[in-house]
Every structure is written in C-alpha cells, then in structure tokens.
Homo-oligomer: A and B are copies of this chain.
C-alpha cells in the first residue's frame, strides 16, 4: 500500500462527491476533463490523482463511474468501517455522535467518554457514554485504534496521552491545541477556532474599510 500524497487525499473526497452526484443523475461514465471542469482542479492534476486509485480510463470514453467510486472509497478505506471512540461529550462531541455522515465515510463511533457524563451508562445516538475512568480498560478490550478528541483545550494533551497508552495510533483532534506526541502518531486537526479567527478578522477589516 503506497503512501498517497496528502493533497491528493484531500481532493479525492471532492471527486467522490461529484461522482455520487453523476451516479444519481444516471450517468455511467465521466472524463477527467469533466471532473476537472467541475472541481476547478487542473486536468493534469485530476489524471495524476485518479492514477493513484489504480483505475485506468477508457480512451474517448473516460472512467466508469461505479468503478471509480469504489476505487476511491477503497483508497480512502471508506469501504471498510473502522471503529473509533470519542472523548469529550460537550456540544461538539454530541454533534459528532449524531453526525451520520461519518459512518458513510468509514468511521463508526462505538463508545464515548466524558469526565462528567450527564448520563453515564446511557446512550446518545446509539453510542454508550462512559466516565473517563472506564477508558483505559475499555480501549484495551475493544482494540480501537482511532480516537476523536473533543475535550476542553486544557484537557486535550493529557487525554491524548491516555489515548496513546490505550493503543490508539490516530487522533482526530477537534481542539485548538497543537498536540505534543511522538512523531509516529497520526494526527488530523480540525481547527474551528483558527478558521473562525480568520473569518472574523477579515469581516472586521472589510467593515472598517467600508466606513472609513
């Protein structure tokens, strides 16, 4: 299994969304040129990206859409559902528990942990919620390798370390904290704070220019 470049990986879901749309519209084949036009990615780049999936286009016809969909899903490991768990059942954590798109994208949350669960032992969107003290034992029993981190910032580093101790190899980090962990840990950050910082400032700058 070869390492696919990160920017290719980030574009594959965009192609996939488009292919689902074509499929719903009843199309059978699509050219790289058409994908390029609809995604604003250069055609040469689209061809390179699709080559990573191992699918070969048919001259003058393009790619079979079903074949391309399943090749991309396989590339992203989205055809295979991985179990994961979530720590920090605040507003964002609850949201993710109810976010049904995740399972379509290969991730199934099988347990959630919180320092002060409102309702320990209860289920939220079908996922059981436990106190943090249950985490070490459950992680080692369940063999889960992916953790979603939604704790308050001040707890993020400590919880991440507990995750690693429990056998986690990948963390999807929704806190703004830059985690300090061994290099071989796979970390993907969704930093809503940074994004909101840029948005808020750019809006303020625009408003000032308008009034000055």
Partner of A17, one of B21, B177, B196: B177
Interface residues of A in 176-194 (CB under 8 A from B): 176-178, 180, 186, 188-194
Q: At the interface, is chain A mostly helix, strand, loop or mixed?
A: helix
Interchain nearest-CB distance for A103 vs B (Å): 11
Partner of A94, one of B98, B193, B200, B206: B98
CB of A201 closer than 8 Å to a CB of B: yes
A82 lies within 8 A of B203 (CB): yes
CA distance A203 to B147 in the complex (A): 12
A200 lies within 8 A of B10 (CB): no
CB-CB under 8 A from A4, the residues of chain B are 201
CB-CB under 8 A from A77, the residues of chain B are 200-201, 203-204
CA distance A98 to B1 in the complex (A): 41
CB of A61 closer than 8 Å to a CB of B: no
Q: List 17 A-B contacts (CB under 8 A).
A: A6-B198, A10-B197, A14-B177, A17-B153, A21-B154, A75-B201, A91-B100, A94-B98, A95-B96, A95-B98, A102-B196, A105-B193, A170-B203, A170-B206, A172-B195, A186-B199, A188-B199
Nearest first, the 7 A-B pairs at minimum CB distance are A95-B95, A77-B204, A10-B194, A13-B193, A1-B208, A188-B199, A77-B200
